[in-house]
Amino acid sequence: MKVEVITIGDEILIGQIVDTNAAWLGRELTRCGFEIAAITSVGDCQDDIIRAIDHAFERADILLLTGGVGPTNDDITKHTLCRYFHTALEFNDEVLQNIELLFLNRNIPLNQLTRQQAYIPENCRVIQNRVGTAPILWFDKDGKVLVSMPGVPFEMRTAMGKDIIPLLQERFQANEYLQRSYLATGITESALATRLAEFENKLPPGFSLAYLPSFGYIRLRLSAWGEDRKPEMKQLGRKLKQLLGDHFAGKGEKMPEELLGEKLRKKQLTVATAESCTGGYIAHRITVVPGASDYYEGSIVSYDNRIKEELLDVDPGTIDVHGVVSREVVEQMAINITGKLKTECGIAVSGIMGPDGGTKSKPVGTVWIATYCDGRILSREYNVGRSREENIERTANLAILQLLKMLSRK
Amino acid sequence: MKVEVITIGDEILIGQIVDTNAAWLGRELTRCGFEIAAITSVGDCQDDIIRAIDHAFERADILLLTGGVGPTNDDITKHTLCRYFHTALEFNDEVLQNIELLFLNRNIPLNQLTRQQAYIPENCRVIQNRVGTAPILWFDKDGKVLVSMPGVPFEMRTAMGKDIIPLLQERFQANEYLQRSYLATGITESALATRLAEFENKLPPGFSLAYLPSFGYIRLRLSAWGEDRKPEMKQLGRKLKQLLGDHFAGKGEKMPEELLGEKLRKKQLTVATAESCTGGYIAHRITVVPGASDYYEGSIVSYDNRIKEELLDVDPGTIDVHGVVSREVVEQMAINITGKLKTECGIAVSGIMGPDGGTKSKPVGTVWIATYCDGRILSREYNVGRSREENIERTANLAILQLLKMLSRK
């Protein structure tokens, strides 16, 4: 079933915000068995929105609009939809009640501008916004569907997850969509494709395998339609996992930091980090997971080399002999951080993220990562690339995955 | 001059990557005086790409394509452009030389697949890729322009900045585009709009003021066309800065962490951070700026409360009496981190990012931020919101801006 997404707002076109809604929708809808044909971003302009809707309905059955539904003048989506569907706004009491309740809970007085949000197009079905004031509007047209929802990520995600996706599945999917995902690490996409070529060629009709490479890992997604394929799916999944061998790092759609969190929680272990070149980004990635405080204790970010000696007790002689970007230094960092923060596990990184600081023997992108757990230590050198932001991203993933794999082997 | 952007790749539609290219292009092009009419993302499918090009050329004069230009089979942009422009591929020696040089510098042998990248459409102008293998292709058509470039962010940004934008300006802009940006903080968008209403209403014809709100700050952009408006622009800019008063935090298009870095470097000060709820994200934001090691020393991420006592010497009694999310605790953290890391300045945060952990008196979103510099301390309570990721983002911006403003007042 083809879906097109239209995100509305000048702020997207002028690059003031990165359109994370589009990526989230793409990921969730694909995961639920819908195919995204295109994503279009347009400004706060009625003609542009109508043009985009017309183009999208040329081939999509489902059209999802986000944004332009706030209480201010430049939020014009509902007026545009009235024009498109040749209808007018009417006052909806239930929407007002929903808004009033929300304001009551937040202890804010309701103003006239916000009251306006209870005016909605006559011919649509309303889905109440569970966490915000702008209602979700559902339109049916010649067997196709258009849904307008807020652009605020938290509101959009709540509406999609709790209301819109279940309704779309009920309406458009007679069949069950099956899928299994596997996270692979320590192998390039081309090497993985070679390794899996035979498996892929021999897949039964209706099954497909997608490669989703990211910084430092590749996600593989095996999918098929129909509940009757479940036994086959199970068998193929098992086979795929086997073929991945030592490169298998986890099952499902979770991020590396979520997989690590689950593993630590299951094994009742705690972890701390000692970061140099990633400057706190590994700590951030671990703590962005709700509930991370159950297993994450903290970090020492030793951006300056002096801090490595003073707070992490790295031996100055080791730094002199081997340099700060070395196996010896990250191993001391990993061991010492677990001692200082009294954790079982430790992650330590030191590297050169660029654009400057590279040398002939240690060019930009050189990184040493050490992971430690209960007396065992693993340290590896990586070369992550040339762009600073991507290097930080890749190093964080590699470090998190290195500890995850170490704990999985235990 | 209207621009449309088409980003190509299945990985965008399935949400595997967030399309940061679109946001970057929107920002840069707007800054250089071009207007973005729409951004469309399509998959690796010739028909879809051609349909998107047709739709875009209905009203845009400049069409920028990113992605689908790698050496593998699913990279089909150049074949699609041959079909669209009724032309064929031909071998281009200069492109091969550029690729060979690149491989020589990276010390990697050139393979047959990569050699294929030297085949380019006959009727286009080639712009050599300065940092990658896929050439940039420039097509002229009935006074309009289509440019195809790589989707790799580093390559795309280099090509746009060094070659494509200057060429587009030469071709399409007779007039000079003037603009001045101001970063405002500590004020809501609606309050700022009220304060600036008279200034905005009295703007001379041709001048416009845009509001670009972000998490924790608002950027204002004043713009006009024509070199002859420079004196007026200067005067209006000065007036605007004056109107912002105490809410003015910086000039230009820079991020808060870049402004802070400049200020610290200028004043020859160093900074360290003590983070609780942001879990290393402030450190990450500061260190993502190239050269941050000149003024940033490091961080202690005390995610667990025990670490606040053990590594940051926060008094357990203070925690007992006031709680970890309190003025008293962040002030101790800020002072102690500067002592431990021997810096002049310190930033400390403690708060409740959600989704859990809120109480009646300290709901999710409550944050205390303390900034310290040479004996002076400033601490403030904020309420940042309800979604975990956005709360972390907003808290980091507020903390960085709080120190920046403190240093600016000195």
Annotate A239-296 with DSSP letters as a single string.
HHHHHHGGGEEEESS--HHHHHHHHHHHTT--EEEEESTTTTHHHHHHHTSTTGGGTE
Rounded-to-10 torsion of CA B238, B243, B244, B248 = 30
Q: Please identify which residue in the block is written with the tokens 């994450």.
A: A296
Please tell me the predicted confidence (pLDDT) of residue B74.
66
Please tell me the predicted confidence (pLDDT) of residue A72.
66
Residue A73's pLDDT band (boundaries 50, 70, 90)? low
Q: Angle A392-A218-B9 (CA atoms, 0-180°, nearest 5)?
A: 90
Closest by Cβ to B27, choosing from A14, A42, A341: A14
- Please state at what angle helix B230-244 crosses helix B189-201, rounded to 10 degrees: 140
Q: Which residues of B touch A354 (CB under 8 A)?
A: 290
With CA atoms as reference, report the closest residue to A72 among B128, B125, B193: B193
User: What DSSP designation does A405 have?
Assistant: H
- Judge whether A386 is closer than 8 Å to chain B, CB to CB: yes
Considering only alpha carbons, which residue of chain B is nearest residue A283?
Answer: B280
Q: Angle B373-B377-B382 (CA atoms, 0-180°, nearest 5)?
A: 120
Q: Which residue has the higher pLDDT, A131 or B245?
A: B245
CA-to-CA dists, residue A358 to A220, A275, A304, A348, A380, angstroms = 34, 18, 16, 20, 19
CA pair distance A60, B323, nearest whole angstrom: 54
CA pair distance A87, A73, nearest whole angstrom: 20
**In chain A, what is the greatest distance between 2 CA atoms, to the nearest angstrom?**
78
Q: Are the beta carbons of B340 and A311 separated by less than 8 Å?
A: yes
What is the arithmetic mean of pLDDT over A220-240? 93
Q: In the numeric block, which tokens belong to residue A398?
A: 């590699």
pLDDT in tens, A257-303: 999 999 999 999 999 999 999 999 999 999 999 999 999 999 999 99
Q: Which residues of B touch A299 (CB under 8 A)?
A: 279-280, 299-301, 303
Closest by Cβ to B304, choosing from A15, A43, A297: A297
- Cross-strand pairs, B219: B183, B212
Residues 208-237 of B with CB under 8 A from A: 210, 212-214, 219
Size of interface A-B (CB pairs under 8 A): 253
Residues of chain B with pLDDT under 70: 71-74, 410
Domains of chain A listed by start with CATH number: 2-172 (3.40.980.10), 177-251 (3.30.70.2860), 256-409 (3.90.950.20)
ipTM: 0.85
Q: How far is B116 from chain A (nearest CA, A)?
A: 17
With CA atoms as reference, report the closest residue to B222 among B185, B176, B181, B175: B181
- Please state at what angle helix A388-409 crosses helix A256-266, rounded to 10 degrees: 30
Q: Which residues of A touch B280 (CB under 8 A)?
A: 273, 275, 279-284, 287, 299, 301
Closest by Cβ to A293, choosing from B29, B40, B304: B304
With CA atoms as reference, report the closest residue to A209 among A217, B105, B226, A219: A219
Q: Are the beta carbons of B306 and A288 separated by less than 8 Å?
A: no
Over the range B348-371, which residues count as b (16 or more CB within 10 Å of their CB) and which as e?
bbbbbbbeebeeeebebbbbbbbb
Closest by Cβ to B23, choosing from A17, A39, A297: A17
- Judge whether A358 is closer than 8 Å to chain B, CB to CB: no
Q: Which SS3 state, helix, strand or coil, does residue A16 take?
A: coil
Closest by Cβ to B20, choosing from A18, A300, A301: A18
User: What DSSP designation does B280 have?
Assistant: T
Q: In the numeric block, which tokens belong to residue A358?
A: 């590279």
Q: Are the beta carbons of B301 and A278 separated by less than 8 Å?
A: no
Please tell me the predicted confidence (pLDDT) of residue A173.
82
- Phi–psi pair at A140, nearest 5 degrees: -105, 140
Q: In the numeric block, which tokens belong to residue B38?
A: 């729409």
| Ranges A163-172, A395-404, B16-25, B247-256: which has the least confidence | B16-25
- Cβ burial of B46 (10 Å; 0-12, 13-18, 19+) is middle
- Cβ burial of B31 (10 Å; 0-12, 13-18, 19+) is middle
Count Cα atoms within 13 angstroms, Cβ side, for B113: 8
Residues 115-154 of A with CB under 8 A from B: 131, 153-154
What is the arithmetic mean of pLDDT over A161-189? 90
- Judge whether A299 is closer than 8 Å to chain B, CB to CB: yes
Query: Please, what is the average pLDDT of chain A?
Result: 92
CA pair distance B71, A30, nearest whole angstrom: 26
Q: Estimate to the nearest angstrom the gap between the alpha carbon of B70 and the chain centroid.
A: 25
Q: Are the beta carbons of B311 and A291 separated by less than 8 Å?
A: no
DSSP A118-181: GEEETT-EEE--SSSSSPEEEEEETTEEEEEE-SSHHHHHHHIIIIIHHHHHHHH-SSPEEEEE
CA pair distance B322, B329, nearest whole angstrom: 8
Please tell me the predicted confidence (pLDDT) of residue B340.
95
CA pair distance B4, A210, nearest whole angstrom: 30
Closest by Cβ to A279, choosing from B40, B43, B283: B283
Global pTM reads 0.87
Closest by Cβ to B15, choosing from A26, A273, A282: A26
Please tell me the predicted confidence (pLDDT) of residue A402.
97
SS3 content of chain A, % helix, strand, coil (to 5): 45, 25, 30
Alpha helices (runs of H) in B42-135, residue ranges in sequence order: 46-57, 77-84, 93-106, 112-115
Please tell me the predicted confidence (pLDDT) of residue A141.
92
What is the arithmetic mean of pLDDT over A1-28? 89
CA pair distance B391, B384, nearest whole angstrom: 6
CA pair distance B291, B295, nearest whole angstrom: 8
The letter for the amino acid at B49 is I
With CA atoms as reference, report the closest residue to B278 among B399, B123, B133: B399
Closest by Cβ to B279, choosing from A278, A283, A387: A283
Please tell me the predicted confidence (pLDDT) of residue A175.
78
- Asked whether A84 and A8 are in contact (CB, 8 A), the reply is no
| Strand B217-225 relative to strand B177-184, pairing | antiparallel
Q: Which SS3 state, helix, strand or coil, does residue A59 take?
A: coil
A86: pLDDT strictly greater than 90: yes
- Asked whether A205 and A251 are in contact (CB, 8 A), the reply is no
Helix and strand numbers (H, E) in chain A are 16, 17
Q: Which SS3 state, helix, strand or coil, does residue A316 take?
A: helix
Q: Which residues of B touch A311 (CB under 8 A)?
A: 298, 300, 340-341
Q: Which residues of A touch B286 (CB under 8 A)?
A: 279
- Cross-strand pairs, A131: none
pLDDT in tens, B68-101: 887 666 678 999 999 999 999 999 999 999 989 8
Q: How far is A72 from chain B (nearest CA, A)?
A: 10
- Asked whether B78 and B120 are in contact (CB, 8 A), the reply is yes
Q: Are the beta carbons of A14 and B30 separated by less than 8 Å?
A: yes
Q: Which SS3 state, helix, strand or coil, does residue B13 take?
A: helix
- Asked whether A129 and A137 are in contact (CB, 8 A), the reply is no
- Judge whether A2 is closer than 8 Å to chain B, CB to CB: no
Q: Are the beta carbons of B392 and A284 separated by less than 8 Å?
A: yes
Mutation target to probe the A interface, by most A beta carbons within 10 A, among B3, B16, B179, B296 is B16
CA-to-CA dists, residue B246 to B195, B243, B258, angstroms = 13, 9, 20
Cis peptide before A121 (omega within 30 of 0): no
Q: Which residues of A touch B311 (CB under 8 A)?
A: 298, 300, 340-341
Cis peptide before B355 (omega within 30 of 0): yes
CA pair distance B367, B369, nearest whole angstrom: 6
With CA atoms as reference, report the closest residue to A379 among A329, A306, A322: A329
pLDDT in tens, A27-40: 899 888 898 999 99
Q: Are the beta carbons of B279 and A286 separated by less than 8 Å?
A: yes
Alpha helices (runs of H) in B66-164, residue ranges in sequence order: 77-84, 93-106, 112-115, 153-159
Q: In the numeric block, which tokens belong to residue A307?
A: 């801090």
- Judge whether B22 is closer than 8 Å to chain A, CB to CB: yes
